[in-house]
Amino acid sequence: MKAVLFDLDGTLLDIDIDEFLGTYFNALGPVVVDVIGGDPKSGISAVMAATREMIASHPGRTNEEVFAEAFAAVSGVELGPESWARFDRFYAEVFPTLRGTIGPAVGAAEAIATAQGLGMKTVVATNPIFPAAAIRERMSWAGIADIPFDLVTTYEIMHAAKPDLEYYRSIAETIQCDPCDCMMVGDDPMLDMVAADIGMSTFYVGPEPAPAADYVGTLSELVNLLPRVSTSSC
């Protein structure tokens, strides 16, 4: 095993993602109104429609580019420099206040340190439908912002999103590892465990009932597993 891919939300970060997304969209609504006018509900509808386009296959274009194009098509407003600056201020000033009680998952830092100590490459394989600022902020909530990862997947640099298999292929290509030398660690049966379809090993840390995965357990149990699989290869 040469690389470990870690999902962020629900894996390295102890978060109720559904509850958080409600809080996030409530806070984002006024920003969208500033950008396109109208009411928050229609603005958020445009954001969600653009997000769905990022999740659909779109080879050759970054997720950020797809978001901007789809948002303009739905809202009728092109995102120019002033609009992007407004979103940047939101992620710099408002997004950090949404943390609440969210914090690191038990065993997260230890699992990453163990993988890196064994010479494995490490990736924050979070769904890249957020800008880097939002992902880096959530990494800080998880207590891992200062850890040197080989890759953090953000919407500025990725050309696919979960559960598109191209997302996982592009990670393997970027870090120069064969997929069969990679392990995906995550809590979502559909978004994370699908990595098995391109030959990656899978470690499921989500709630029961567990889906089909190579390994099921906690991050603390992953710490004990990694030395045993570190010498295995394709």
Q: Is residue 147 part of a domain?
A: yes
The total number of structural domains in the chain stands at 2
Structure tokens at 135: 């992902």
CB atoms within 10 A of CB 27: 14
pLDDT for the residue numbered 39: 77
Round to whole Å and give the CA distance between 2 and 146.
Answer: 22
User: What count of other Cβ atoms lies within 10 Å of the Cβ of residue 163?
Assistant: 18
Residue 234 lies in a domain: no
Which of 50, 71, 98 is a domain's end point? 98
Higher per-residue pLDDT: 34 or 208: 34
Q: Which of 98, 132, 151 is the last residue of a domain?
A: 98
CB neighbours of 85 closer than 8 A, spacing ≥ 6? none
Minimum mean pLDDT range among 12-16, 40-44, 174-178: 40-44
Mean pLDDT of 104-132: 97
Same structural domain for residues 11 and 120? Answer: yes
Dist. CA 15–CA 9, nearest whole Å:
6
CA-based nearest residue to 222, from 4, 2, 9: 4
> Does pLDDT of 34 surpass 90?
no
Element (H, E) at 201: strand 201-204
Kindly state the average pLDDT of the residues 17-31.
92
Domain stops at, among 80, 98, 116: 98
- Give yes or no: residues 37 and 146 share one domain: no
Please tell me whether residues 49 and 112 are part of one structural domain: no
The structure tokens 């997260």 sit at 108
Average pLDDT over every residue of 55-83: 92
pLDDT value for 232:
80
Which residues, listed in sequence order, are joined to residue 207 by a DSSP beta bridge? none
- List the Cα angle 65/67/72 in 5-degree steps: 100
Examine the domain organization and report whether 53 and 134 are in the same domain. Answer: no
- Residue 88 belongs to some domain of the structure: yes
User: Residue 15 pLDDT > 90, yes or no?
Assistant: yes
The fraction of the chain above a pLDDT of 70, given in percent, is: 100
Q: Clarify whether residues 109 and 199 are in a common domain.
A: yes
Mean pLDDT to the nearest integer, 123-130: 97
The whole-number pLDDT of residue 107 equals: 97
- For residue 116, what are the domain limits? 3-15+103-229
Which residues, in sequence order, are bridge partners of residue 185? 6, 203
Rounded to whole angstroms, the Cα distance separating 125 from 192 reads: 9
Span 21-42, mean pLDDT? 87
Mean pLDDT, to the nearest integer, of 91-98?
96
Q: Is the pLDDT of residue 38 over 80?
A: no
How buried is 50 (Cβ within 10 angstroms: 0-12 exposed, 13-18 middle, 19+ buried)?
A: buried
State whether 53 and 137 are in the same domain.
Answer: no
11 and 24 share one domain: no
Residue 32, CA distances (Å) to 70, 130, 154 in order: 14, 15, 21
Task: Verify that 8 and 123 share a domain, yes or no.
Answer: yes
Q: What is the dihedral of CA 50, 54, 56, 61, to 10 degrees?
A: 120
- My answer on whether 43 and 77 are in the same domain is yes
Single out the residue of 86, 5, 76 nearest to residue 45, CA to CA. 76
109 and 194 both lie in a single domain = yes
Residues 59 and 166 in one domain: no
Predicted TM-score (pTM) of the model is 0.95
Per the domain annotation, does 138 fall within a domain?
Answer: yes
**114 and 59 inside one domain:** no
CATH of the domain at 193: 3.40.50.1000
In a domain, 122, yes or no: yes
